[in-house]
Amino acid sequence: MKSADLARFAIPAALIAVSAALTATAAEYPTKPIRLIVGFAPGGGTDTTARAMSQKLTDALGQQVVVDNRPGAAGNIAAEIVSKATPDGYTLLMGTIAALAINPSLYSKLPFDPLKDFAPITQAVDSTNILSLHPSVPAGSVKELIALAKTKPLNYGSSGVGGTGHLAGELFNTMAGVKMTHVPYKGGGPAMIDLVGGQVQLVFATAASAVPQIKGGRIKGIAVTPAKRSALMPNLPTISEAGLPGFDANNWYGVLAPAKTPRPIINRLNSEITKVLAMPDVKNFLFNQGLDPAPCTPEKFGDYIKSETAKWAKVVKASGAKAN
User: What percentage of the chain has pLDDT greater than the value 70?
Assistant: 92
CA dist 247 and 162 (Å) reads 18
3-class state of residue 232 by DSSP: coil
pLDDT tens figures, 92-101: 999 999 899 9
> Can you give the pLDDT at residue 20?
52
State yes or no: pLDDT of 190 exceeds 80: yes
> Can you give the pLDDT at residue 321?
77
The total number of residues written for the chain in this structure = 324
Q: Which is nearest to 143 in space by CA: 264, 244, 276? A: 244
Query: Residue ranges per domain, the chain?
Result: 3-127+250-319, 129-225
Assign domain 3-127+250-319 to its CATH superfamily. Answer: Bordetella uptake gene, domain 1 (3.40.190.150)
Q: pTM for the whole thing?
A: 0.81
CATH topology of domain 129-225: D-Maltodextrin-Binding Protein; domain 2 (3.40.190)
Residue 43, by phi and psi: left (phi above 0), alpha (psi -120 to 50) or beta? left
pLDDT mean across residues, the chain: 90
State yes or no: pLDDT of 44 exceeds 80: no
pLDDT tens figures, 259-289: 999 999 999 999 999 999 999 999 999 988 8
> Can you give the pLDDT at residue 23?
55
3-class state of residue 87 by DSSP: coil
Other beta carbons within 10 angstroms of residue 109's beta carbon come to: 6
3-class state of residue 299 by DSSP: helix
Vertex 208: Cα angle to 67 and 42 (nearest 5) = 25
State yes or no: pLDDT of 298 exceeds 70: yes
pLDDT tens figures, 197-242: 999 999 999 887 898 899 999 999 999 999 989 888 899 999 999 9
> Can you give the pLDDT at residue 74?
81
Q: Does 255 or 185 have the greater pLDDT score?
A: 255
Residue 193, by phi and psi: left (phi above 0), alpha (psi -120 to 50) or beta? alpha
Q: Are 91 and 79 in contact (CB under 8 A)?
A: no
3-class state of residue 62 by DSSP: coil
CA dist 132 and 288 (Å) reads 19
**For the residues 126-136, what does the mean pLDDT come to?**
94
